[in-house]
């Protein structure tokens, strides 16, 4: 697409999406859709590393797609698709598995973390998850990948695999770079502001879901952890709860930390939490309305993901064909 750089990202089709998903990822994606050639997938294959109810997984995939569009991702400007609908991901995944070392995968901290959480289901898909992620990125020769700090390690192994393949077979893959927003790449929990807000949180007061109703949002904000100072001041190390709420408020209202501090001079946490809650409610109401409209129109969703899958395959298939040729497979013309 001209001289535009290519961006690839996605969100798993498990659990309800959170305010952290919106502020940390989707909100930034919307800003990119005119400047970059964007590929945004619903990562349903990655979702299989944990046991899912099949009907729930299919429902979640469509919900994530609806959130993408309702939040402002234009299907005409972005390639929006289901990961499982583009065969090239799986084809390249196997090839890259053969160029990835066990030692590299053993060092992946997310495998260790997830193994501890799912001790009864430590499967090989969980172990080789980073290779499929590498295939997701490299199959489009993505220049940039929007990642949080917790995903940087996966991007590094992607770069290592691509460089290794290129050194053996010649220039094949673009070496991707991380794209991290200046703010909001890591929205923390309301009850535990030292840990990332997670859609798999067991404490529902720790997370704002994008489909939460206004009253639930207000209740959760009232219970959000702060500190005893009753002073709205940004200090991530000593005031993690307040700093996290300031980050959320700043991203929603497009204000700097200094502007927020000035706004709440002489005001306590009650006023501040109420303002944050109302900012969230104001942002989510139109998104929720559009989301419900899309879910009530499955034909529109089907049109979007079918169009996206075709466009994604048109980009990915020639890259896989080139890889097959280089490693010695017979390629159908």
Q: Are residues 164 and 257 in the same domain?
A: no
Instruction: Give this prediction's pTM.
Output: 0.88
Q: Are residues 176 and 219 in the same domain?
A: no
Q: Are residues 236 and 284 in the same domain?
A: yes
What's the pLDDT at 181?
Answer: 62
Low-confidence ranges of the chain (pLDDT < 50): 1
3-class DSSP string for the chain? CCCCCEEEEEEECCCCCEHHHHHHHHHHHHHHCCCCEEEEEEECCHHHHCCCCHHHHHHHHHHHHHHHHHHCCCCCCEEEEEHHHCCHHHHHHHHHHCCCCHHHHHCCHHHHHHHHHCCCCCCHHHHCHHHHHHHHHHCCCCCEEECCHHHHHHHHHHHHHHHHHHHHHCCCCCCCEEECCCCCCCCECCCCCCCECCCCCCCHHHCCECCCCHHHHHHHHHCCCCCCCCCCCCCCCCCHHHHHHHHHHHHHHCCCHHHHHHHCCCCCHHHHHHHHHHHHHHHHHHHHHHHHHHHCCHHHHHHHHHHHHHHHHHHHHHHHHHHHHHHCCCCCC
The whole domain housing 110 covers: 6-180+298-327
Q: Are residues 34 and 67 in the same domain?
A: yes
Q: Are residues 171 and 217 in the same domain?
A: no
Q: Are residues 169 and 87 in the same domain?
A: yes
Active site residues: 114, 196, 199
Number of domains in the chain: 2
pLDDT in tens, 91-123: 999 999 999 999 888 887 766 666 666 667 677
Asked whether residue 152 is assigned to any structural domain, the reply reads: yes
Q: Are residues 162 and 267 in the same domain?
A: no
Q: Are residues 69 and 138 in the same domain?
A: yes
pLDDT in tens, 129-158: 899 999 999 999 999 998 766 678 889 999
């Amino acid at each position: 697409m001209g001289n535009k750089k290519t961006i690839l990202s996605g969100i798993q089709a498990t659990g309800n999406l959170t305010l952290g998903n919106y502020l940390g990822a989707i909100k930034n994606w919307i800003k990119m859709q005119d400047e970059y050639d964007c590929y945004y997938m619903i990562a349903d294959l990655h979702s299989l590393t944990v046991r899912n109810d099949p009907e729930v997984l299919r429902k979640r995939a469509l919900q994530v797609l609806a959130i993408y569009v309702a939040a402002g991702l234009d299907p005409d400007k972005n390639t929006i698709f289901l990961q499982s609908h583009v065969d090239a991901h799986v084809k390249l995944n196997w090839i890259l598995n053969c160029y990835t070392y066990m030692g590299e995968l053993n060092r992946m901290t997310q495998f260790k973390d997830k193994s501890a959480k799912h001790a009864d289901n430590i499967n090989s898909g969980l172990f080789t998850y980073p290779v499929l992620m590498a295939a997701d990125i490299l199959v489009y020769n993505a220049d940039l990948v929007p990642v949080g700090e917790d995903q940087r390690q996966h991007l590094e192994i992607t770069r290592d695999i691509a460089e290794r393949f290129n050194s053996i077979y010649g220039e094949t893959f673009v070496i991707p770079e991380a794209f991290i927003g200046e703010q909001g790449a890591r929205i923390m929990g309301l009850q535990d502001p030292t840990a990332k807000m997670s859609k798999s949180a067991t404490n529902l007061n720790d997370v704002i879901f994008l489909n939460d109703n206004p009253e639930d949002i207000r209740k959760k904000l009232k219970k959000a952890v702060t500190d005893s100072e009753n002073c709205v001041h940004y200090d991530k190390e000593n005031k993690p709860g307040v700093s996290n709420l300031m980050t959320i408020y700043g991203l929603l209202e497009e204000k700097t930390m200094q502007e927020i501090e000035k706004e709440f001079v002489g005001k306590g946490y009650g006023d501040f939490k109420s303002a944050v809650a109302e900012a969230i409610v104001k942002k989510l109401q139109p998104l929720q309305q559009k989301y419900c409209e899309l879910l009530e129109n499955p034909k529109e969703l089907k049109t979007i993901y079918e169009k996206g899958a075709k466009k994604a395959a048109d980009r990915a298939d020639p890259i896989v064909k080139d890889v097959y040729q280089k490693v010695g497979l017979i390629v159908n013309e």
